[in-house]
Amino acid sequence: MPVDFEVKNHVAYVVINRPDAMNSLDPASIESLDRIWQEVKDNPNIRVSVLTGAGPKAFCTGSDMKNSPTPKECMAAIYLRDGQPILPRMKMWKPIIAAINGYAVGGGLEIALGCDMRIASANAKFGLTEVKVASLAGLNGTQMLPRALPHAVAMKMLLTGDMISADEALRYGLVSDVVDQSSLIDTACVYAEKIARAAPLSVQAAKQAAILGRDMPLEHGILFGHLMWGILRDTEDRKEGFKAFAEKRDPQWQGA
């Protein structure tokens, strides 16, 4: 299979499994990812996901230029349907953690930018190199990279196609952690399991408040955050959380 998928303890593990092709995306892997992200979104047993690539060399290097046929549809049909594949399916309030092992280039970096947390191995490299092949980072790169990095750094990457190292990515705030290759997945699992143990509705509300509030004036964002708190106030999980705390036991979340 071009993409491996497993669910364990409320965590979905998604692995792009094309190491011989630097985990680039051919039509079969794109189809698999679309199907998997829909399952993650719809399955109430899944609370958080970890996305990575197989092998030590690459997280994902974007489109497989050797095995990507010319689209049969016109650009208008593709654009008006829902834009490019994969990223629309990743739009959900359940968190996604990118465990970046090696190259995150082109569409691979754009997919990582679509995740909520990014953890990198020490050998990771990041770049949007499309200008070198007369193309464009058309998934989300021209918009997300300047929002994730200092503007001057993002523009240097977009206009030259140059890559940055894991240490630079950490310094600029593109990733939260840089770890040895051998401990990358374990580190991602630790974060994922912490999130999975938290109340699922609260986690999703926190993500929604942060994402939507980012585009609001500060006072509007604060009001929206208070509204989200009010929505959670009368849930069964909040009652269970307070009760479990008083009884000094682990809460049993229902997602309701």
Report in angstroms the alpha-carbon separations of 235 from 50, 100, 204, 256.
27, 36, 14, 6
Beta-bridge partners for 34: none
On whether the CB atoms of residues 56 and 97 are closer than 8 A, the answer is no
Catalytic residue chosen out of the listed positions 6, 130, 219, 247: 130
110 a catalytic residue: yes
Return all residues near 218 (Cβ < 8 A) that are at least 6 apart: none
6: annotated active-site residue: no
Residue 191 to residue 193: CA distance in whole angstroms = 6
Pairing state of beta strands 117-121 and 164-165?
Answer: unpaired
Measured distance CA(186)–CA(99) in Å, rounded: 10
Kindly name the residue from 73, 110, 193, 247 that is annotated as catalytic.
110
Measured CA to CA, the distance from residue 174 to residue 28 in angstroms comes to: 29
Residue that is written with structure tokens 């071009």 in the block: 2
What is the C-alpha to C-alpha distance for residues 233 and 98, in angstroms, rounded to an integer? 31
Distance between CA atoms of residues 175 and 117, nearest Å: 7
Tell me the catalytic residues: 110, 130
